[in-house]
Amino acid sequence: MRTRSPWHEEYLRRPREYIWGQQPSALARRLAQLLPPQARILELGCGEGRDSVFFAGRGFRVTAVEASSAGLTKAERFAEEQQVSVRWVQGDMAEVDLDGSYELVYSLGTVHYVERSRRRTLFGRLQALSPPGGYQAHLVFTDASVYPEKGEVIDYFRPGELPRLFLGWPIIAAETGLISCAQDGRPHQHSVEQIIVEAP
């Protein structure tokens, strides 16, 4: 399956507006409570930067990967406004060079744009970046309730697929549910699965 994300076009179309807002996600706020001071964080698919900027504002050292140059332009502007420093990396999260060690590897609603055929390799690479006791946290769309918007094509996770990628890792939290959205002008919901795991 060849996936398609519509968000680069949306970032270009609305250059001054923060489509996802500037407040951090609930998951980012939750994770900030788990991390030691100055923890190193890798965010995959940072979009317009709301969570990366939040983490940097808490004194964490953040590297943020995003495929969309327009998204990164907005993220960089937001970081400058908040007077925080983030290392921005443009590229496909499944292809970009990733190295180092991170106390948190994080994605929010982005990894489902990576085709299933490439995901096991990607998660293997991500797991190698976590030192013992480090965290990985991911939220993905599942096929329990599908609502395509703006022409997107997603390789939806199957329920239970995400935790199976972390066999042998202690699970801190694992949740499924529905999130509300109206990015295409119609209120709707997406089914999601979310995990927080700790590196053994």
Confidence of residue 98 (pLDDT cuts 50, 70, 90): confident
Mean pLDDT, the chain, whole residue set: 96
Residue 55 has pLDDT above 90, yes or no: yes
Per-residue model confidence as pLDDT tens digits over 67-80: 999 999 999 999 99
Q: How far is CA 81 from CA 41, 56, 71, 86, in A?
A: 21, 13, 15, 12
Q: What is the pLDDT of residue 16?
A: 93
Per-residue model confidence as pLDDT tens digits over 151-186: 999 999 999 999 999 999 999 999 999 999 999 999
Q: Locate the domains of the chain by residue range.
A: 7-198
Fill in the DSSP letter of residue 157: B
Domain 7-198 class, CATH top level: alpha beta
Whether 3 contacts 151, CB under 8 Å = no
Per-residue model confidence as pLDDT tens digits over 14-39: 999 999 999 999 999 999 999 999 99
Partners of 87 in the β-ladder:
63
Confidence of residue 3 (pLDDT cuts 50, 70, 90): very high
Fill in the DSSP letter of residue 193: E
Strand order, beta sheet including 171-181: 87-90, 61-66, 40-44, 104-108, 135-141, 188-198, 171-181
